[in-house]
């Protein structure tokens, strides 16, 4: 009997492989990111039917600023379009938007759009957490500093100050495109998360892939260091 197995509440995804997808299809890199947004859209639509409480997506890391200006600008424009076009759908589908990372450091018009989207979706039951200008080491340092300002530094006091404090504990981390590393994403939250690395490039990642991952998760026995 697999007593440790259970349904996943919170899944996070490192969406990798947009560039390789574009190369493989002989189209500009920007097209790979555009198809990546399509994959996000399809996935968000299926979150409710999969019974997930929270889906967290790594959309832009604090290290992604090192990419060429044109690519950064493409990604920011995709973000603008995504928020504008998908906000009504989030609201219709009971999706609550949450942003993690140092997102106040983004362009002022994006910050304004995000603030508006956060307010409008605040009552949604399913959370879509988007990591923007996010770095996990930076998040932990910020949290530790806040915890120290309030008293003793403990695992609990740091956890309570993380950007993810209001989200369910992370159950499963997925990375696409065959790379096996965390790239400064949810390092603290991954302490007891299950991990799945799949070869599929992000634009080809379909809701069926997530369903398969959730079915696989349900068979895993989680012991949290016990036996």
Active-site residue identified among 2, 64, 69, 102: 64
* DSSP H stretches of helix in 53-167: 69-92, 108-120, 136-150, 155-159
* Alpha-carbon span 84 to 82, nearest angstrom: 6
CA distance 122 to 110: 18
Nearer to ligand FPP, 52 or 130 (CB): 130
Query: How far apart are CB 163 and ligand FPP at their closest, in Å?
Result: 16
Out of 2, 16, 109, 216, pick the active-site residue: 16
CA-to-CA distance for 165 and 183, rounded, in angstroms? 21
Instruction: State the residue number with the nearest CB to ligand FPP.
Output: 19
Helices (H), 29-68: 29-47
Residue closer to ligand FPP by CB (options 64, 138) is: 64
Q: Which residues contribute to the site for ligand FPP (CB under 6 A)?
A: 15-20, 33, 36-37, 40, 57, 59, 64, 78-79, 82, 130, 177, 202
Q: Is 102 a catalytic residue?
A: no
- Least distance between ligand FPP and beta carbon 38 (Å): 9
In the complex with ligand FPP, the residue whose CB is nearer, 38 or 216, is 38
Active site residue 77: no
Q: Please say which residue, 91 or 160, places its beta carbon nearer to ligand FPP.
A: 91
In angstroms, the CA 145 to CA 132 distance is 21
CA distances 224 to 85, 159, 192, 194, Å, are 41, 17, 6, 11
Residues serving a catalytic function are 16, 64
């Amino acid at each position: 009997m697999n007593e440790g197995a259970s349904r996943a509440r919170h899944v996070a995804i490192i969406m990798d492989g947009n560039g390789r997808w574009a190369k493989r299809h002989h189209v500009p890199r920007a097209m790979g990111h555009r198809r990546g947004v399509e994959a996000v859209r399809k996935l968000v639509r299926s979150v409710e039917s999969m019974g997930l409480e929270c889906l967290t997506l790594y959309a832009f890391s604090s290290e992604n600023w090192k990419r060429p200006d044109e690519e950064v600008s493409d990604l920011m424009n995709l973000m603008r379009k995504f928020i504008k076009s998908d906000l009504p759908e989030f609201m219709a589908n009971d999706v609550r938007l949450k942003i993690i990372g140092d997102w106040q450091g983004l362009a002022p018009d994006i910050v304004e759009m995000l603030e508006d989207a956060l307010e409008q979706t605040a009552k949604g039951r399913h959370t879509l957490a988007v990591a923007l200008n996010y770095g996990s080491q930076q998040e932990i340092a910020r949290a530790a500093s806040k915890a120290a300002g309030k008293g003793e530094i403990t695992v609990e006091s740091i956890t309570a100050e993380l950007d993810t404090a209001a989200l369910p504990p992370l159950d499963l981390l997925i990375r696409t495109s065959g790379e096996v590393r965390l790239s400064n994403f949810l390092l603290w939250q991954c302490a007891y998360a299950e991990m799945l690395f799949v070869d599929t490039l992000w634009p080809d990642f379909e809701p069926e892939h997530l369903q398969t991952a959730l079915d696989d998760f349900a068979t895993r026995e989680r012991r949290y260091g016990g036996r």
